[in-house]
């Protein structure tokens, strides 16, 4: 790598783009720019203007590029993940929120439109992306969040406290028993990857916590099934459950909800790339066999 003192910003970013590209980073130019901006703090628009002039590369840029070239996630280096309107603090031990989950939040926001003070819980909140966005975007909402991992819980606490979300550390299988039958919405992006489907991207395989990825059981469906059972426990009759999943799991999830015999209006939803990445359902007002 040929970074040197006094190098121009434009040269250094060009060099960084080549280094990141050789390392297989999917968006090398943008990452090279974002790393420079992380050090300069001027914003991407101004940084791009600076690239046209004779500004110098910031100290420490080569080291950050090297770290990213070793496939440490960009968000772990900058400490920030952008999700809808939020700037979340993230780092080792917490799942980096993904763009497709923004569509799941939108489903909740659309569902509660017109409701007064909806009561919502996010099971497996990770960084707090879903819970925090709902608290931020739905005025009057009472938002709760549950997270099992001690590390993720610490990141969530940092992100959710300023937004007034009520966070507990616990297992989504039995959390919040004192709130049984009281929620308008249960939302979850649980771990759902099958045990043998190890992700190929190093950022995911080596840096997302395993407890955020693998859903349990050969098909990865243990925790999604548990999340659905908890949703049936936590929701009011007529309440709304929505869960993210892998595209290939859409049919299985719909069948699982059907077989549970508690759900109506089971609906599969597409993300912005047209993939079946979420399923929602309404808790029946009276269980069919009662």
Catalytic residues: 95, 189-190
Q: What is the contact surface with ligand SAM in residues (CB under 6 A)? A: 95, 97, 101, 124-127, 129-130, 146-149, 152, 171-173, 189-191, 211-212, 223
Longest CA–CA span in the chain (Å) reads 77
Min dist CB 169 to ligand SAM, Å, is 9
Neighbours of 89 (CB within 10 A): 15
Min dist CB 285 to ligand SAM, Å, is 28
Whose Cβ is closer to ligand SAM: residue 123's or residue 235's? 123
**240 in helix, strand or coil?**
strand
Left, alpha or beta for 79 (phi > 0: left; psi -120 to 50: alpha)?
Answer: left
Whose Cβ is closer to ligand SAM: residue 47's or residue 186's? 186
| Cα gap 51→10, rounded to integer Å | 5
Whose Cβ is closer to ligand SAM: residue 127's or residue 225's? 127
Min dist CB 114 to ligand SAM, Å, is 25
**181 in helix, strand or coil?**
coil
What DSSP character marks residue 161? G
Neighbours of 280 (CB within 10 A): 21
Handedness of CA 208, 168, 242, 143 (dihedral sign): negative
Whose Cβ is closer to ligand SAM: residue 118's or residue 126's? 126
């Amino acid at each position: 790598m040929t970074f040197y003192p006094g190098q121009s910003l434009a040269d250094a970013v060009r060099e960084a783009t080549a280094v990141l590209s050789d390392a297989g980073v999917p968006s090398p130019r943008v990452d090279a720019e974002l790393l420079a901006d992380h050090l300069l703090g001027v914003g991407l628009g101004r940084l791009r203007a600076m690239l046209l002039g004779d500004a110098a590369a910031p100290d420490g840029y080569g080291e950050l590029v090297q770290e990213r070239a070793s496939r440490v996630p960009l968000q772990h280096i900058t400490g920030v993940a952008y999700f809808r309107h939020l700037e979340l603090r993230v780092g080792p031990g917490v799942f980096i929120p993904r763009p497709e989950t923004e569509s799941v939040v939108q489903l909740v926001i659309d569902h509660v439109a017109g409701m007064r003070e909806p009561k919502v819980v996010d099971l497996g909140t990770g960084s707090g992306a879903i819970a925090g966005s709902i608290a931020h975007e739905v005025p009057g909402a009472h938002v709760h969040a549950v997270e099992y991992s001690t590390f993720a819980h610490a990141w969530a606490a940092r992100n959710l406290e300023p937004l007034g979300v009520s966070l507990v550390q616990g297992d989504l299988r039995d959390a919040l028993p004192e709130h049984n039958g009281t929620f308008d919405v249960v939302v979850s992006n649980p771990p759902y990857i099958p045990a043998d489907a190890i992700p190929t991207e190093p950022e995911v395989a080596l840096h997302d916590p395993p407890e955020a990825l693998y859903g349990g059981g050969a098909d990865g469906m243990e925790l999604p099934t548990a999340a659905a059972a908890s949703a049936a426990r936590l929701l009011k009759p007529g309440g709304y459950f929505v869960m993210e999943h892998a595209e290939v799991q859409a049919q299985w999830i719909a069948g699982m909800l059907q077989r549970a015999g508690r759900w109506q209006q089971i609906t599969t939803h597409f993300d912005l790339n047209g993939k079946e990445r979420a399923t929602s359902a309404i808790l029946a007002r009276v269980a069919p066999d009662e």
